[in-house]
Amino acid sequence: MRALLVEDDPDLADDITRALTAAGFVVDHCSDGEEAWFRGDVEDYAVAVLDLGLPRLDGLSVLRRWRSGERSMPVLVLTARGDWTEKVEGIDAGADDYMAKPFAIGELVSRVKALVRRAAGHASAVLTIGHLTIDTVRMTAIFDGRQVQLSQLEFRLLNYLGHQKSRFVTAGEIAEHLYGTGDGNDSNAVEAIVTRLRRKMGGGIIETRRGFGYVLASHAE
Q: Are 136 and 44 in contact (CB under 8 A)?
A: no
What is the model's pLDDT at position 82? Answer: 64
Is the pLDDT reported for residue 220 higher than 50?
A: no
Does 115 share its domain with 130? no
Does 134 share its domain with 104? no
Question: Could you give the CA distance from residue 215 to residue 159 in angstroms, rounded to a whole number?
Answer: 11
Does 31 share its domain with 75? yes
Average pLDDT over residues 83-101: 85
Average pLDDT over residues 106-124: 93
Q: Are 57 and 32 in contact (CB under 8 A)?
A: yes
Does 98 share its domain with 145? no
Does 96 share its domain with 146? no
Q: How many domains does the chain have?
A: 2
What is the model's pLDDT at position 65? Answer: 97
Does 146 share its domain with 191? yes
User: Residue 82 burial (CB < 10 Å; 0-12/13-18/19+)?
Assistant: exposed
What pTM does this model have? 0.86
Question: The CATH number of the domain where 113 resides is what?
Answer: 3.40.50.2300
Is the pLDDT reported for residue 182 higher than 90?
A: no
Question: The CATH number of the domain where 153 resides is what?
Answer: 1.10.10.10
